[in-house]
Structure formats: structure tokens, C-alpha cells
Amino acid sequence: MKPILLKSSISPLYSFTIEERICAYFNIPYHFHNEYELTAILKGQGSRFVGNNISSFDNSDMVLIGKNLPHHWHNDKETAQPADAVKAIVLKFDSDFNGVRLFDLPENRQIQNVLNKAANGLRIFGDTFTKLVAMMQSLLSATGPDRISILLKILHEISVSGDTEILSSDGYITKVKDNETDRMNRVYEYIMSNYLGNISLADAASVACMNEAAFCKYFKKRYNKTFIQVVSEIRISYACRELLKEDSNVAAVCYESGFNTISNFTKTFKKITGTSPREYKMKIKKLGK
């Protein structure tokens, strides 16, 4: 899945940007950019793509994304989606603040280390998530030197926290060649439009204007996963969210998630999550979710 490049949106009046987004759907495509990005999801649920990591997200998702790392949040699209179904705070900043390499200062060595980890995407959870959301909300209205001060406090909080998890694997290729076309964007759209129904390698290759053998090789080289692996992970991500519902039924979730047999669903679910669908549902129930 080839991401698109988004050019910097940072205003010359500020050294970095932060904004609150409220909308019906995540409408920014699978993309990458030269800035670091800290995104906090306060409302919404769906699948999150960071590099070659595919996971579920809900109302308490936060990821620090490194420079040029492809990413996308894809929320579940249900009928009659309200205009405020999605709420997020997005903070973007560069390593060069108008010629000042702020993070290269000795005092910011810990921050530089965490930015290096962000090259693979860094999920932030637990108490640290709660603290950072409050700080990001404060930053939305901050002015002058307070903006820089709060940004540094946010990054320092991440650098000393144990509530973090690296997402994408080292085998993922982040560099995109200039001569590559947008055909993999069409494949991505094909997957996200059809993963709950009929989807095939042949159709995906056709969308990419490639034969199956060439497509498989290209996809695996770019994504470090096979086409089937990616589709399965997206389906299981959806299944996990459905199993969270109190009245969910494993058999019903199986077919709703695009699987044709319960045995294949159970096998794939266990391979990806390490537990069976029934065990997963029971575990979530015990946690009070």
C-alpha cells in the first residue's frame, strides 16, 4: 500500500502546529510527511495503520509518529454517522525550529532518544495518555514561549514513561521512490472497501495493474507482509472491536468479519492475537470492558 506525501502545513507564524479535529470520518488518506506527529484519538474506533502495523483503536488511542512514516486511522463507517463521530488532537513539529536544532541540545538527549523510537511508531497508553491529553488540550490555547515549554514537557513525559509500545517492525521499508505511481493507493482503497466481503489477490493485482506474481513480490517487499496477512489482520482488528460488544456472538462476528468458516476464523484470530475469539471475549468481560 503506497502512501501519499503530504506537504508541510506549518505556518511561518509558528514553529509547530496543533489542532483539534471533529468530523464524521477520518478523511486524511494513508500518507506520510516530514514532520513528527503526535495524534490523540478522543472519540472514534476502527483500524490504525502505522508502517506495517495494523491494530484496533478506540477512544483512548495515542501514537507518536516519526518522520516519513506512513500512517492512517480508518474508522468503522456505520450508517447515519454523526458529524462528531471522530474527535482527535493532532500535534505536528519538525526537528528544525527555524534553524534551531532544539532536540540536539544535551539537555534534550532523552527526547531525541524517544524521537528515534518514533521512527517505528510509538503507542502511548495508561496514565501517560491521560496526562498528555490534558497537556495537549492546554497547548491548543497556549501562546508565546508557553507553546515551546509545553511541547518540551509533552515529549519529556513520553521519554520517561513506561506506558509505550513500538508498533512497526524494522523490516518495513519507509522510503518511497519518486518514480513509484499511486497504484498501491488504489489497492489500499480496494482493501478497505472490500475486506468485510469478497476480496481476492487476483482483483488486488488487477487494481494495481500487475500480474499476481509481480504484485505479490512488490507488496511483500514494500510492506514486509503478504497481501493475505494484511487482509487477515484488518479483518481480525474489526473482529476484536465487534467482540467488545456485550451482545456479540462469536459465530456472527466470524461471518461479519469476512471469514467463511469458524475454524479458519478461530485459527487466524489465535495466530494474530495469541488467543481464541471466545477466550478474548471472556478476558475482556472479566476486565469490565
Which CATH number is 227's domain given?
1.10.10.60
List all residues 6 or more positions away from 237 whose beta carbon is below 8 Å from its beta carbon.
47, 54, 55, 56
E-state strands within the chain: 4-5, 16-23, 31-32, 36-43, 46-50, 53-57, 61-65, 71-75, 86-93, 122-124, 164-166
Residue identified by cell 467488545 is 244
| C-alpha cell belonging to residue 234 | 484488518
Q: Which of 140, 166, 192 is a domain's end point?
A: 166
Q: Which of 116, 138, 166 is a domain's end point?
A: 166
Q: What is the CATH number of the domain that holds 52?
A: 2.60.120.280
Rounded to the nearest angstrom, the gap between the alpha carbon of residue 254 and the centroid of all alpha carbons in its chain is 24
- Identify whether residues 281 and 149 lie together within a single domain: no
Euclidean distance between CA atoms 14 and 12, whole angstroms: 5
- Identify whether residues 138 and 221 lie together within a single domain: no
| C-alpha cell belonging to residue 264 | 479458519
Give the residue numbers spanning the domain of 197: 183-286
- Identify whether residues 187 and 158 lie together within a single domain: no
For the chain, the domain total comes to 2
List all residues 6 or more positions away from 33 whose beta carbon is below 8 Å from its beta carbon.
5, 6, 7, 8, 67, 68, 92
| Per-residue pLDDT of the chain in tens (289 residues, 90 and over written 9) | 555 555 555 555 778 999 999 988 887 877 888 899 999 999 988 889 998 888 888 889 999 999 988 898 988 765 557 888 899 999 999 988 767 788 888 999 999 999 999 999 999 999 999 999 999 999 999 999 999 999 999 999 999 999 999 998 766 655 555 445 477 778 888 998 899 999 999 999 999 889 999 999 988 887 788 999 999 999 999 999 899 888 899 999 999 999 999 999 999 999 999 999 999 988 877 665 4
